[in-house]
Structures are given as C-alpha cells and as structure tokens.
Structure 1
Amino acid sequence: MASVWYPARQTRGLPLAPWMTESALGALLADAGFPLDPALGPLTAGHLDAPVLRPGHRLPVLVYSHGAGSHRSDHTTIVQELAGNGYAVVTVDHTYDTFTEFPDGRVLTPGGIPMSPQDYAADLRFVLDCVDAIAAGRNPDADGKALPHGLLGALDARRVGAFGWSKGGTATALTMLADRRVSAGLGIDGPMQPTITTDLDRPFMMMTAEFTRAAMPDVAEFWTHLRGYRLNIQAAGAVHHTYGDDASLIPQVGRILGMTDQQIQEWIGTLDPARSLRIQQAYPLAFFDQHLRHRRRHLLDAPSRDFPEVEFIR
C-alpha cells in the first residue's frame, strides 16, 4: 500500500485524511498495549482526493520508507511539510513488516515473513516504477482506481529523492546505490546494517540520535563511503523516536493513560516535542530544496541560532 501527498488546488468540502485507517490503528494500538479507541485517532492536515495544484511545472517527487514494524504514516509531520512546499511525496507500507489495511478490508501486521533492508529497497524501486508511470500519464493502481484529478502527468521523474527512518533510512541508502533515479537521500537515525561498503556519489544527509557514527561502526563505515555532498546533524536530547510523529502523539497518549514524564521521555527523549517537530519540518525541506530544486539553504551551512539544539557532526 502507498499514499501520495501533494499540494492541492482546493480542499473545500473534502474530508480530512486520517493519520491511519481505523482498523490499522486499532491493530497498532493493541500491539503497543495502549487501551485507546482507534475511532478517536488523529486527523492530518491533508484532504482526501483533492485535485492537484499544477504550478506550471511538474512536481519533484520524494519516496518515504518507514522503520521495522512501523507504518507509512509514522512521519506525517515531515511529509505534510514537504507536500505543502510543492513536493509530491509517496509513502510506502512495506507489507509483512507494517500495520496496514488493504482496500478489501484485510489488516496486516508485522511478523511471519522476515523483511530485510534490501526487501524494503526492492519495494521502493517498484514504487519508483509507479512514479515513472504516473509521470508518463499512466495509472499504476492495481485495482484501476481513478487517481486524483491532475495527478497523471504531474510528477517530475527526473527530480526524485528518498528518505526513511531506522530500517527505512538504511533502505534509502541501498535504493540509491541500486537505482540512479534517486538524486538525493535522507536517513533518519538509520543503523546502516548490514554494513554498506559501496561508495555513494550523490547527496546524503543523516539525522542521527541513537544510531550515531560514534556508537555504531556500521554508520561510521557508511559515512566514509559518501563521496558526494554529505551532512550529519543531531539534536540534543534526541532518541530514536524523537524524529517522527511520536514526538507529538506520545505526550498526548501519556496524558490520557497517566504516564509519568519519565516514561514519556524514555519513549521520545528530552527534546521539547514542539522543537522536535520544528526541526523535522525545517531540515529535510532545506536539504531537498537544495539538492532537487537548487535552492541554496544556509540552514545547512552551519549551526543556526534558530535551532540551538542542532549540532553538526563533522
């Protein structure tokens, strides 16, 4: 399963898109041990089936890969920011390692069939084929469902980037090594396992927290093989789940369930959630703008007074 996010021409009267479908969210909550009603799940700022805004040029494309046992909605904060700034973002559920609902109502959960980062990368390359089809005016939907008005022919298959969290960050690097259609990549706290020993000659940025070059030999080794533009940033107080929608959602869940501040911080770190979200909005956008749109972003040049929490790891 995949979703496509994009700038919309008009949204009046269209329903807001849920963060996850109710059935998939129910399975996720049950797995996490959160006794919450999935019918009360969050809504996004996106609208379902809105017509595409065509600004006079095709939209650069980004594909997103989630972490192990996660789902394609896990970094909606980043996805919405990118789509709101003129990107088409395709978010991917890696079947058998995700919580997802199919159009026929089947709900799949992680487990049963092991999924490697290479399997994730194969999924992403299939999705890139679908991007090529949409860019050429063909509908790749397996059931032939009509796409939103204006989407066919709206994508720029020559300007493609990829990003992912955890295992999805590793998959992003592997996809770039196997497929030159991806011009720039962002790994969000990816462990880079199994060890990557092949040189990558295109721009790559790492947002690290727990899987750092200092703590993870695989991450350090990968860094040495980045032959193009490379950047490694890290926010003080960040842990693995800091970079993602958990930064906003876990404190809300915690208040409902009576979690202590310490329990919440064990999950999302000590970085203020509002600051975490702002960092997630600013840095990925600056990176892809610089390398897919050739819009120089000085935010990436050096530490910023606007983001004192963010360290540049040289």
Structure 2
Amino acid sequence: MRSLELMLTIICMLLLVHLFSYKLTKLTGAVVSAASGVALFMQLIIEGYRWQMLFVYCVTVISINVVMLRRRNTPTRDKTKSPLAYICYLLMGGLIVISIGLSVYLPVFNLPTPTGADKVGTQIFYFKDESRDETFTDDPADKRELMVQIWYPAGQTKGSKESPLFPEDKKVFKKFIAAYAEPLNLPPFVLDYWKYMKSHSYEDAEVKASETPYPVIILNHGMGTGRLLHASQAENLASHGYVVVAIDHTYNTAATVFPDGHVTSFNTDEMDMDRNTSSNLLLEVWTQDVKFILKQMKELNSGGIQSRFNGKLDMGNIGVMGHSFGGATAFNAYDSISELKAGVDLDGSLFNLDSKYEITKPFMFIQSEDFIKIQENSSKEISDQDLTKMNLTREELIKLIDNMHKENDIINQVIQHGGTLIDIKGTAHYNFTDFQLYSSLLNLMGMTGEIEGSRGAYIVNQYVLDFFDKHLKGTGGQLLEGPSPDFPEVEFPQIR
C-alpha cells in the first residue's frame, strides 16, 4: 500500500474500533473524525483515487457521519450493543480487510531501482518502413509502422520530467488498459490503477557525455505483451552504460500507442507457429523489424536522422535479447545479422528447428524451472488421462517431444561454441518480464513461479548485464563461470 493509503486505513480502523467499543468521547470523536477526513482528503489529492481502496473510503465517510450524529444525540449503551450494531461494525471491518487485500495483491508500485551508477533517460520514436507492406491489415497501401522506446545513460536531468510507465492521455490510456485486460478476461477498470506506476527514467534527458560511444542492445517483447513489460530490464542496462532499443512489434502486442493517439491491438490472423518450417511468417516479420530498427539506429548515430544520439552509439558492439517469441526472434536475428555480437533468449522456444545453425558467436539461453520440468517429463510415460488434462493428443505429444530434442540439439551446438545455458529455480514463463512485479496473484494463475518477483527480476538483470558486459565491453563475466553463492537459484545444467 502507498504511504497515505496505509495512514488512512490505520486511522479508519482506529475510528471503527472506538465506535465499536463506544469509548469515544465527543472531543476524541471530533479529533479522530477530523484526522480521518484530512487523511482521506490528502490521499485522494496527493496519491489519487484507486478502486481497491473504495471500501476504506466508504467506511471512513460512514464512520465520520456516525460520530457527527452521536455528537448531536448520544445513543444509549443498550443500543450500542444491539446485534444489528455488531453486525454493521463487523461488516465495515470486513470491508476494510477486503480493501487491504486488494491493495496488497494489486499494488501500485514503482519499477525496481536500477543498479548502475548512471541516471536513465528515455525517448520514444515512431518509424515507418516504406519498403515493407503491413502484413496484418487488409489495406494494400499500409506500410510497416513501429513504435520504439530507447533508454540510455542520462546526463543532466534537471528540468526533465520523470517518465510515467504508461500513456498519460486519458483516452489513450483507457484504450491501452482495455487491450491488456481483454486476454486476462478482466473488465478494463481493474487495471486503471496502472496510471500511477512510475519508472526511473527521465523523458528526453540529454545523453551523458562519454569518451566512447555506448553499446547498443535491441530488446524484443514476447507474443501478445509489449515493450513496457521489459522497462526495468532496459532501465537497468541503461544505468550501466548501454543504449537499449525496445521494439513494439505492431499487431503482435497487447497494445501499441502511436503518435496520433490510435492504438493497435493483438491480431492473430497471420499466426503461423509451426516451429519446424523455415518460412514462419511471424518470425520473419519480427526479424525484419530488428533489421529495420538496426538501420534506423545507424541513421540516428550518423546524423541522417537528427537526434541526441548522433555519434553516441557504438555500432560495432550491438547485442540483441528477447523474451518468449521475442527470444526466438533474437536467436533468429542473431543467426542472420552479422553485426550482432551477443544475444540472449529469455525462456523462448526456438523455431526453424530443422535448420543447421552455425553460430560461433556468444549467445545465452536463460530458462525457467517450468521449462525444465517439461523437459524432464518428456522422457516419462504419459497416460491418456494426463494427455486429456494437457489438452494434447498422443500425436501432438510425440511432435512436441521431437521438437524438444531438436531444440536441445541446437542449444548444445551453441554451448559447444562458447554459448551459455542457465536455469533459474522457482521461475515460470513471465518471471522474465516485469509482469512478475504486478501481482503475486499471477503465481496462482501459473504465470509466474514461486520466486518473489523483485528477486526474480534482480537475478535476470544481473546475469543479462554480466553477459553483455563480457561480450560487448570486455569486462565482467564472473557470473557466467559457474554457480555463485549469491545466486543459489541459478543452475548451470549439463548439455542435454
């Protein structure tokens, strides 16, 4: 809970206890009710209303009114002890507990503080690839449009605004949260409190002066999510001297906001998720997005596009990373784009499994415990009853196991040529995004694992940073050498 929310809740509970016990004198009642009113006013004005606190607001107002009525007409002790009075007080107490629970499990939070020494600036860019038709619309005149957010080491931040995590425009924000709420089967108002979440970046701050340019990392979100679910990863890398370029892959995000205010959502019309084909449409579209954005970064650096990044980007040291399908994209782009020097796949399955990859550059795979369990279970005999629970046919299971073996062969080949593979105990698929910070209820839904969200984020950030430091800056690399007592959750599995 936020500080004023907590203060309001405590005062409200104290007021309710005094009303229930009827130990509230007129003077004390006036003081406590005044304090409750002031706390309510301050919380609404300073922190802002959110629906999780609705019951606390209501109980506070009701309690103040009860105190005012008692000042005029003091009830008898018998009335105070009537069953109806007890029921009312218990009901109000229960409502406060519900509000506390909702506030704790659906918290307003700020992103984890970056661990680097540099402040972080951020800027959003709109790019249009005139050479490519848009795959996901019916209009033949549409060209591929992308929104990109860049995080970077910032110099002077005085006068720069601290960047909100989500769009500030009310109409745009409503469209945005509606798009995120739909796949979760939630009414949009449930996510309204996201508007209060803050980042640690400063909008359009100047790039920190440096004798050498900054290495660049291109970041790809997972299918159906978006760049904002990787903001803490980007901020952390930027605080350590990287320029992080996060792409929203249009029509494959939950929501992408464009400069004119229109919002695109997830489009499944072209979903081709066959992992064995070498012509997977989505994978090719995303890989071409990476190539196009890489070209735009060169333009920003050379001055072809006027920006604060002119001469600030080390285009000789470029990395790529991604989560889930974004991880598969990172691997595919890494294989096909020679300029990429280091890459990270965060719990993403590979595609083009029948291809003969010849990757000799450093690449790291970070896998969840859930993924490892699937691998382990693939060697066990699975009953028809279990298959029904998994919603798989026997033929689909055989194909899935075959794909796992092919994927392991690719990973093994990469490891034999200097790559890295680590597993993180207690993690599930979305522990590799900021989604793990949003609510511990996600664990009950199976989206995140048992590991505490901020701990999971910290571990991922430390290992990703260490990997890029080693291969893009020539420093660090200690964490990649083997198990560390500081990170007992991290395992270095044998080649499978």
Give TM-score scaled by structure 2 length.
Answer: 0.57
The answer on 1:185 being equivalent to 2:373 is no
1:8-66 deviation digits (Å, cap 9, x = unpaired): 00222322222232242442134323422156352211111111112111010000011
Kindly provide the amino acid, as one letter, of the partner of residue 107 in structure 1: V
Give the letter aligned to residue 473 of structure 2.
R
The residue matched to 1:156 in structure 2 has which SS?
strand
Partner of residue 307 from structure 1, selected from 476, 487, 493: 487
Question: Which range moved further: 285-294 or 189-198?
Answer: 189-198
Q: Which residue of 1 aligns with 2:323?
A: 165
Equivalent of residue 59 in structure 1, options 214, 217, 227: 214
Distance (whole Å) between structure 2 residues aligned to residue 27 and residue 247 of structure 1: 19
SS in 1 for 2:447: helix
What SS is found at the alignment partner of 2:350?
A: coil
Letter of the 1:184 counterpart: A
Aligned to 1:281: 461
1:224 positional shift: 3.0
Q: Any gaps of 5 or more consecutive residues in structure 2?
A: 1-146, 168-172, 272-281, 379-403
Find the aligned partners of 1:88 and 1:29 in 2 and give their Cα distance.
Answer: 31
More helix by share: 2
- In structure 2, the partner of 1:9 is 155
Partner of 1:42: 197
Is the Cα contact below 8 Å between 2:371 and 2:428 reproduced in 1?
no
The whole-number CA distance in structure 2 between the counterparts of 1:25 and 1:7 is 29
Structure 2 residue 33 is matched with structure 1 residue 33: no
| Letter matched to residue 9 of structure 1 | G
TM-align CA RMSD:
1.9
Partner of 2:352 in structure 1?
194
Structure 1 stretches of 4+ with a deviation exceeding 4 A read none
Q: Partners of 1:305 and 1:73 in 2: how far apart?
A: 32
Alpha-carbon distance between aligned partners in 2 of 1:233 and 1:41, rounded to the nearest angstrom: 35
Partner of residue 143, structure 1: none
Choose the corresponding residue for 2:260, options 87, 104, 107. 104
13-22 or 240-249, which deviates more: 13-22
Whether contact under 8 Å (1:205, 1:230) holds in the other structure is yes
User: Residues 105-148 of structure 1, C-alpha deviation per residue, up to 9 Å, x if partnerless?
Assistant: 11011114426222211100111111111121221xxxxxx63x
Partner of 2:223: 68
Counterparts of 1:75 and 1:250 in 2: how far apart (Å)?
16
Larger RCO, structures 1/2 (Cα 8 Å, 6+ apart) = 1
Please say if residues 192 and 219 of structure 1, whose CA atoms lie closer than 8 Å, have aligned partners that are also in contact. Answer: yes
Question: Which residue type is aligned with residue 111 of structure 1?
Answer: N
Q: Does the CA contact (< 8 Å) of 2:177 and 2:192 recur in 1?
A: no
- Which residue is 1:142 aligned to? none
Distance 1:132 1:51 in 2: 19
Q: Could you tell me which residue of structure 1 aligns to residue 400 of structure 2?
A: none
Equivalent pair of 2:343/2:364 in contact (CA under 8 Å): yes
CA distance in 2, matches of 1:124, 1:288: 18
Q: Is the 8 A contact 1:250 1:268 kept in 2?
A: no
Report the alpha carbon displacement of residue 4 of structure 1 after superposing the two structures with TM.
Answer: 0.7
Match of 2:291 in 1: 125
Would you say the 8 A contact 2:428–2:448 is kept in 1?
yes
After the TM superposition, which residues 130-145 of structure 1 pair with which residues of structure 2 at under 5 Å, given as runs? 130-139=296-305
Distance 2:312 2:357 in 1: 34
Deviations 1:184-212 (A, max 9, x none): 00000010023143111110001101445
Q: Indicate conservation of the 8 Å contact 2:177/2:191, yes or no.
A: no
Q: Is the 8 A contact 1:201 1:228 kept in 2?
A: yes
Q: Provide the TM-score with structure 1 as the length reference.
A: 0.89
The aligned amino acid for 2:420 is: L
Deviations 1:268-306 (A, max 9, x none): 110122210210220000000000001032111010000
The aligned residue for residue 246 of structure 1 is 435
Residue 263 in 1 paired to residue 421 in 2? no
- Residues of 1 paired with 2:323 and 2:489: CA distance? 20
Moved more, 195-204 or 126-135: 195-204
Give 1 or 2 for the bigger CA radius of gyration. Answer: 2
Q: 2:367 maps to what in 1?
A: 208
* 8 A Cα contact 2:166 2:194, kept in partner: no
Distance 1:41 1:24, change over 3 A: farther
* Range with bigger deviation, 222-231 or 2-11: 222-231
Number of residue pairs matched by the alignment: 297
